[in-house]
Structure 1
């Protein structure tokens, strides 16, 4: 992937053969590269791979990832912007393909989750079947299968710690991480930014 204009923006480009290399050079206005001995063949381009990468990066840095992808795709060159998490949810192509299904998650409500098998055949997809069960949802049921009554099963599950209302949710380290300010995560590089309107983006997805 190559760096683009924008905050931590990148574009993926694949030049699989000479035809795509030629199309890339012409589309980007670098016809001179076609007569450069360093790039005259696949073998030569392999030897000078790092030089090509540097030249391409110099070109992509001055353009947005969407601009680069649109230009190269129009020339028949495989290219796509590397999407951030919030961009994935609102990507027009993924939305048109119904890439995400709204799945109910306990304590959160409907959450867009990737289908377990995203491709479609004959226009038909494979939607998410069921939400993930909450932690301990079937513990009492399993205990009843080995001979306990419903009352005994629920008592055993609760009193012996076999069921928790939320798995590890109250662990001190988890609580500390959950209560940390988003600025702390950004300072550590764990997140790029925090979108105040993220709930609206989730709703639109």
Structure 2
């Protein structure tokens, strides 16, 4: 599969703005596969829009389906503007704000991609609670040795322990890409 146009455009916006935190291609391709498996009428949440690379993979993974509602949340106004400058399908909603404040109005989701500290390092319990029964949660950047930070190592360790031992989740750690944990909500 070639890199989708929306992903290439997001990568170019990121380069032009000096934004270096876009999802890696291997993670994006995996995310696209997961998005394509979301049930008809389902809902997807991305936490951490960035320049829109992950969102581009989600849209491409849906393969032209318009029956899935996609929400993406970005905290930083300047970074949010990068993704907002692009044209997205009508069923994509970009939100500027802290996911912590938005959880009460966003609802529940069949797939959540936690790609930002909010919703992953903080409010992880609320992210899990926002999953529908059988819903999937994908968390990336879980290989702390890639980042060389004691804080990152501590925080990823806490997230991994929570996800891998949570009684309401089935979870698997994948030592691939940036380090992924994929979870499904039991129930």
- Fold shared by both chains (TM-score > 0.5): no
Which structure has more relative contact order (CA 8 Å, sep 6+)? It is 2
TM, length-normalised to structure 1: 0.20
Q: Which has the higher strand share?
A: 2
Which protein has the larger Cα radius of gyration, Structure 1 or Structure 2?
Answer: 1
TM, length-normalised to structure 2: 0.22
Q: Which has the higher helix share?
A: 1
